[in-house]
């Protein structure tokens, strides 16, 4: 039998415009009714429907409630780390130069291939727990450090196991086209053939929710990216793209032509790319952690994205090379200070729009019919989520209707 629970005595930031035109959708002295993993009612406590007979009642002590956080772009499963490369970069060697010299992503590929599945699960779990402690209830995890059929499958299995073991909804993305593995040196088109051949097999094993590629001069060309997208399309899988991070390759327009869920990074995004994303309903995923860690100076075109009405998400891009951070709240803060998002945009970016970047419409707001994923914070107003940094005000996490302990 599914249990009905009343979570009451909270100030609720629903992010539902029906509860206030300012975007926060605040309800004072509010309550949420859940049945199983679903929200069945949200409103002021005094308006609780008389037919509601909750089996349990939880007093939230006046806490602020928001939707569960969604981290929609991570490379969480990998072996080793790249602290030595960080030191090299601080001495002036560029990220591209390190990559071209065979370091960078390739060094993480070697460490990932050498790690056992259990070791990869243990390190990824530890990292996931940092994100979860700040209220993350949905987490996207990309492969892309295996770069062989066997090693990519292993990383994706680790992501699936993580989702099964933790109170966390994990979505997987196949990023075989992340970098050229050493055994394909000088043969990038042959490698793309291999990636396209692996995809149906990985999909048949239930390991793939979406397909991504790194379209960049140190990654793969638009023509190669297109072939990966065609293989995804043939299987009915949605696509997303690492686009215009270091240069404008026209990747965003290409991805939009395939109805991409999201284009991510976007520092070098053009007006044409913005228009194509708008027309396709593609979400712009902003990754201030990578911008910060690479000490980039070219900002993504935030004002133009905003003017065009392209929804903006914010994510950690957690990875060992360009964003070894594990705080989605810090990313919300950086999205404001570095990228000039408003606190409302930043909070929508780690909830509502992040869910859309994963193709999910069943979460990101606190309304009837949504998944019962929500967080109780020791805060007065949701704009504080983007204000404090280096501080975790998360007090309780309810994931799929059950409180995480
Ligand atoms: N862009 C990034 O920022 C990460 N991957 C990508 O395509 C970096 C991955 C790494 O350096 O290990
Ligand atoms: Fe990334």
Q: Which of 214, 285, 315, 318 to mutate to test the pocket of ligand 1 (most atoms within 8 A of CB)?
A: 214
**Distance (Å) from CA 269 to ligand 2 centroid:** 16
Closest ligand to the CA of 291: 1
Average pLDDT over residues 207-236: 98
> How does pLDDT run across 86-145, given as a tens digit for each residue?
999 999 999 999 988 888 999 999 999 999 999 999 999 999 999 999 999 999 999 999
Query: Over pLDDT 90: what percentage of the chain?
Result: 97
Strand order in the sheet with 283-286: 240-243, 262-265, 283-286, 312-314
Q: What is the pLDDT of residue 387?
A: 98
Average pLDDT over residues 6-25: 95
Strand order in the sheet with 169-177: 69-71, 136-142, 169-177, 210-213
Q: Which of 109, 322, 325, 331 to mutate to test the pocket of ligand 1 (most atoms within 8 A of CB)?
A: 322
**Distance (Å) from CA 27 to ligand 2 centroid:** 36
**Distance (Å) from CA 55 to ligand 2 centroid:** 43
Q: What gap in Å lies between CA 49 and CA 108, rounded to an integer?
A: 55
* Tokens 């070791």 found at: 119
Give ligand 1 pocket residues (Cβ under 6 A).
104-105, 108, 178, 214, 242, 245, 290, 317, 319-322
Output the six-digit token pair for 228: 């990966």
**Distance (Å) from CA 145 to ligand 1 centroid:** 10
Average pLDDT over residues 332-351: 98
Q: What gap in Å lies between CA 195 and CA 217, rounded to an integer?
A: 18
Average pLDDT over residues 227-231: 98
Q: Which of 85, 93, 105, 264 to mutate to test the pocket of ligand 1 (most atoms within 8 A of CB)?
A: 105
> How does pLDDT run across 31-41, given as a tens digit for each residue?
999 999 999 99
Average pLDDT over residues 204-226: 98
> How does pLDDT run across 47-57, given as a tens digit for each residue?
999 999 999 99
Q: Are 268 and 247 a contacting pair, CB within 8 Å?
A: yes
Query: Does the predicted model carry a pTM greater than 0.75?
Result: yes
Closest ligand to the CA of 96: 1
1 pLDDT more than 70: no
């Amino acid at each position: 039998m599914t249990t009905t629970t009343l979570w009451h005595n909270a100030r609720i930031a629903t992010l539902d415009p029906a509860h206030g035109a300012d975007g926060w959708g605040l309800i004072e002295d509010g309550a949420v009714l859940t049945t199983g993993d679903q929200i069945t009612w949200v409103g002021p406590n005094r308006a609780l429907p008389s037919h509601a007979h909750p089996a349990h009642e939880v007093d939230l002590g006046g806490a602020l409630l928001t939707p569960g956080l969604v981290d929609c772009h991570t490379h969480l499963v990998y072996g080793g780390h790249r602290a030595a490369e960080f030191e090299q970069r601080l001495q002036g060697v560029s990220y591209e130069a390190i990559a071209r010299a065979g370091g960078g992503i390739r060094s993480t590929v070697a460490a990932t291939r050498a790690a056992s599945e259990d070791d990869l699960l243990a390190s990824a779990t530890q990292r996931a727990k940092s994100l979860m402690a700040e209220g993350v209830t949905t987490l996207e995890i990309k492969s892309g450090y295996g770069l062989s059929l066997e090693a990519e499958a292993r990383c994706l299995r680790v992501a699936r196991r993580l989702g099964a073991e933790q109170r966390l909804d994990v979505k997987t993305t196949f990023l075989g086209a992340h970098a050229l593995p050493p055994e394909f040196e000088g043969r990038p088109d042959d490698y793309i053939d291999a990636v396209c051949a692996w995809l149906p097999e990985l999909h048949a094993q239930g390991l793939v929710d979406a397909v991504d590629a790194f379209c960049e001069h140190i990654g793969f060309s638009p023509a190669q990216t297109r072939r990966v997208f065609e293989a995804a399309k043939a299987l009915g899988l949605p696509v997303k793209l690492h686009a215009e991070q270091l240069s404008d390759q026209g990747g965003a327009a290409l991805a939009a032509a395939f109805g991409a869920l999201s284009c991510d990074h976007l520092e070098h995004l053009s007006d044409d790319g913005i228009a194509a994303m708008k027309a396709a309903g593609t979400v712009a995923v902003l990754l201030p952690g990578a911008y910060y860690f690479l000490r980039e100076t070219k900002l993504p075109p935030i004002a133009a994205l905003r003017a065009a009405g392209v929804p903006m998400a914010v994510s950690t891009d957690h990875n060992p090379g360009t964003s070894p951070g594990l705080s989605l709240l810090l990313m919300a803060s950086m999205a404001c200070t570095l990228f000039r998002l408003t606190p409302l945009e930043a909070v929508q970016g780690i909830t509502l729009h992040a869910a859309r970047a994963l193709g999910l419409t069943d979460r990101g707001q606190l309304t009837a019919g949504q998944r019962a994923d929500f967080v109780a914070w020791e805060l007065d107003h949701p704009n504080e989520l983007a204000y404090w940094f280096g501080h975790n005000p998360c007090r309780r996490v309810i994931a799929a209707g059950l409180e995480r302990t």
